[in-house]
Chain A
Amino acid sequence: MTPKRKQRLYIVLSIVIGAAVAVGLVMYALSQNINLFYSPADIAAGKAPVETRIRAGGMVVEGSVKRDPQSLRVEFGLTDYVSTVNVVYDGILPDLFREGQGIVAQGELNDAGQLMAVEVLAKHDENYMPPEVAEALEKAGKMPEQLRAKEAYAE
């Protein structure tokens, strides 16, 4: 090989190796940071992993929100009208968090089957239901009629 070709070979080789390393790192990072979504029914059926970051969505059970009087700790039930999961959260709830509202909580399940949330998401529109929640409710066959009407109105 001429020196010039040799130089080109090195360049091509380093690009290939670099690309392979990059792809490998990307795939690793992706696999480490995917948060799967589970409905309360999935969680009750034991389909969700324990002590792994997951997302869970559903409606906040009416009358279930319990506040600790000394801190920001709050507990509430999250339901898809099939099963209910108990969520524990320590922090400020979003403005649109209300009982009977669809929300998504992100966190880890503990051994007692409670979801220790690190983040609670509610949408910036009171007529809106997170699509995952809507689908979970539809799947459970428990989409409340007035909510379906609301959805139609929102469109």
Chain B
Amino acid sequence: MIPEFGQYALILSLCLSFLLAFIPLVGAETNNPLWMSYARPLAIAKFLFLFIALLCLGYAFVADDFSVAYVASNSNTALPIYYKISAIWGGHEGSLLLWIVILGGWTVAVAVRSDNLPPAIVSRVLAVMGMVGVGFLLFIILTSNPFDRHLPVFPQEGGDLNPLLQDIGLIIHPPLLYMGYVGFSVAFAFAVAALLSGQLDAAWARWSRPWTNIAWAFLTLGIGLGSWWAYYELGWGGWWFWDPVENASFMPWLIGTALVHSLAVTEKRGVFKSWTVLLAIFAFSLSLLGTFLVRSGVLTSVHAFASDPARGYFILVLLAISVGGSLVLYAWKAAHVKSESSFSLVSRETLLLINNILLVIATMTVLLGTIYPLIVDALGWGKISVGPPYFNALFIPLVLLMAGFMGIGIMARWRQTKLETLLGQLWKPAVLSIVAGVVAQWQYAGEFNFQVVGIMVLVFWLAFTGLQDMYKRASAKSGMWKGMRSFSRSYVGMMLAHVGVAVTIVGALMVSIYNEERDLRMAPGDRITFAQYEFIFDGARKVQGPNYRADQGVIRILEDGEPYTQLLPEKRLYAARGNVMTEAAIDPGFTRDLYVALGEPLEGGAWAVRVQYKPFVRWLWLGGLLMAFGGILAAMDKRYSRQAKRELARRQAA
């Protein structure tokens, strides 16, 4: 009975979405306050029913209702309760439901946090989000219903959740990622609403900026978490594979990063207006493309659990309608937009433009590498794949170029900066970072790797230019401490995010260059030495988990000859589907991880073992955390609430 309630709730929310997409929009076009006033209650009601549907599916999982086909193929009575709950989004149908629920959540968030906006704008924004909701609800109900029953003969036992997904990282990775993906729908809706109303002024940028920052922060967290999960769960210690599915989430992130910066320019200076609208459209389009790539099964990848051409075509049509429609609207409305001010060649605007261009180029190269194999395949030219060297060769120089300009951008002022002043400020951090880069490399490695020095110089460049700018701003006030306390949240957020970029670059650089890795055959008693660590294999024993059996390797580690720790990597066999999985064991550390994983058993109690020493690998994700935290901090800047109060007061007075 409960699954039918869920199904019913889904259909109801589809109807509500239709109304939401239609009534407020007509109200806004005809200036009918009554029709416009339906927007908020409709958004809330739609979310309510979506949430009920999610609860129903959750209930089916917890109650082991294997008559529901989706539950039967993604759960099992032996599964621990928290995995039963996370199994809701362990497969295609459920993760799509989660996508839609999160879209509903964002819609409600906009509905309740928009008292200060003109009703016509709110109506249009919510209506656009309602349209997106209609598309995806149709998709789930017509092609991927999570409540489909397996009647009359249903299995007594479920097929179990894919063991790779039985992990804390995968409990929270999809919700975070979707929060980011779907969050860009808010920026998209604001952009389309602004186009529809014809009022492409700086106001829409101000309204959508905090939303975009938060969505971007979530996406950053989601990608970081995915990378961390791949690192410890896929078993082999890689952290980024340029896998098409990773790229699918990375492309919206890159464009989203460009959007965050471009919105800043539009809000503060009233320029780049139509460009920002275009970026908002692209960011959400790439989110949709990502959903298409992952969910249509066109990819040969670890993520392509579900593959069904009908679903692929459906998303492709959705993509065509939303991208095509918004671009047509853009061409029609954005042609006559005039900038509200001008800027000279040496100014923060120019540097942010460079940032935008580089980010867009980076996105295009990733996009090309990701879809080129699909295009070639579709045209029948053969089967190819594009390897990581392609992405590395293009992406790394672009990032380094960006890092160089970032330092200058922090120092440059809006509108115009005298070149001499800028150079006068920049030479000190430049010299310092060259010295620091050389010293750091010498200290760490005792050798002189030109590549590493160059990149470390850029990292220090980011740090020192930031510090100098903070110092300059703080000392402009009467006291240093007072000056620092007066920094706005958005300034601190920006600094944190930029430091995060530097930290991530350090992690990526160190782990790429100084990673030590050995695959070898180890019999009990065999030892191997890395840096100051000695790994001793003491053989493997059998252990029993809740829904798996495992061989557990015992590896003792000595540090400088002294006992240090013991790592227990496992090779698990999940009984329900006979899946074998590698569970790596990691000794984490701030400046290095020790990583061991079991390969396959060999003759005579020996095992194939992978042993790794991974310097600074945690910095990769620490940088991601800093970026995300910076994004959230910037979105919570006090001026937004001050602005909101002012706008509200003005509207009430009028």
**Distance from A12 Cβ to chain B, minimum over Cβ atoms (Å):** 13
Partner-binding segment picked from A80-88, A125-133, A140-148: A125-133
Q: Which of the residues B300, B579, B581, B608 comes within 8 Å of A72, measured between beta carbons?
A: B608
Contact A95 B387 (CB under 8 A): no
**Distance from A134 Cβ to chain B, minimum over Cβ atoms (Å):** 11
Contact with A along B278-310 (1 / 0, CB 8 A): 000000000000000000000010100101100
Contact B385 A71 (CB under 8 A): no
- Cβ of A22 < 8 Å from any Cβ of B? yes
In the complex, chain B residues 368-416 whose Cβ is within 8 Å of any chain A Cβ: 368-369, 372, 382-387, 389-390, 393-394
Contact A35 B384 (CB under 8 A): yes
Q: Which of the residues A32, A37, A93 comes within 8 Å of B389, measured between beta carbons?
A: A32
Contact B577 A33 (CB under 8 A): no
Which size class do A's interface residues fall under?
35 or more
- Cβ of B329 < 8 Å from any Cβ of A? no
Q: Which of the residues B308, B372, B610 comes within 8 Å of A155, measured between beta carbons?
A: B308
Contact B345 A92 (CB under 8 A): no
Contact A37 B610 (CB under 8 A): no
- Cβ of A69 < 8 Å from any Cβ of B? yes
Chain B residues, Cβ within 8 Å of A93: 599-600
When A26-B368, A93-B600, A126-B579 are in contact, do A33 and B386 touch as well, CB less than 8 Å? yes
Contact A37 B599 (CB under 8 A): no
**Distance from A127 Cβ to chain B, minimum over Cβ atoms (Å):** 9
Contact B383 A22 (CB under 8 A): no
Contact B382 A30 (CB under 8 A): no
Contact A55 B385 (CB under 8 A): yes
Q: Is the interface of B mostly helix, strand, loop or mixed?
A: mixed
Q: Which of the residues B384, B577, B579 comes within 8 Å of A37, measured between beta carbons?
A: B384
Chain B residues, Cβ within 8 Å of A53: 387
CA distance A131 to B383 in the complex (A): 10
What number of residue pairs across chains A and B have CB atoms under 8 A from each other? 91
CA distance A95 to B600 in the complex (A): 8
When A36-B383, A55-B385, A72-B599 are in contact, do A130 and B580 touch as well, CB less than 8 Å? no
When A33-B393, A72-B520 are in contact, do A95 and B365 touch as well, CB less than 8 Å? no
- Cβ of B171 < 8 Å from any Cβ of A? no
- Cβ of A124 < 8 Å from any Cβ of B? yes
Q: Is the interface of A mostly helix, strand, loop or mixed?
A: mixed
In the complex, chain A residues 91-131 whose Cβ is within 8 Å of any chain B Cβ: 91-93, 95-96, 104, 123-126, 130-131
Contact A7 B384 (CB under 8 A): no
Contact B521 A71 (CB under 8 A): yes
Q: Which of the residues A11, A29, A36 comes within 8 Å of B384, measured between beta carbons?
A: A36
- Cβ of A67 < 8 Å from any Cβ of B? yes
B520: nearest residue on chain A (CB-CB)? Answer: A72
Contact with A along B455-491 (1 / 0, CB 8 A): 0000000000000000000000000000000000000
Contact A95 B394 (CB under 8 A): no
B345: nearest residue on chain A (CB-CB)? Answer: A7
- Cβ of B152 < 8 Å from any Cβ of A? no
Tell me which of A25, A35, A67, A124 has the highest count of chain B C-beta atoms within 10 A of its own C-beta: A124
Tell me which of A30, A96, A104 has the highest count of chain B C-beta atoms within 10 A of its own C-beta: A30
Contact B389 A92 (CB under 8 A): no
**Distance from A17 Cβ to chain B, minimum over Cβ atoms (Å):** 13
CA distance A11 to B343 in the complex (A): 14
Chain B residues, Cβ within 8 Å of A96: 580
Chain A residues, Cβ within 8 Å of B393: 29, 32-33
**14 CB-based A-B contacts, threshold 8 Å:** A26-B394, A30-B368, A30-B386, A30-B390, A33-B386, A34-B386, A35-B387, A55-B385, A69-B603, A72-B599, A72-B608, A92-B236, A95-B235, A96-B580
Residues of B in contact with A (beta carbons under 8 Å apart): 162, 164, 235-236, 300, 302, 305, 307-308, 345, 361, 364-365, 368-369, 372, 382-387, 389-390, 393-394, 519-521, 571, 577-582, 597, 599-600, 602-603, 608, 610
4 tightest Cβ-Cβ pairs between the two chains A and B: A92-B599, A37-B383, A33-B390, A95-B580
- Extra contacts, 6 of them, besides A29-B390, A91-B519 (Cβ < 8 A), are A22-B361, A29-B394, A35-B387, A70-B521, A92-B600, A95-B580
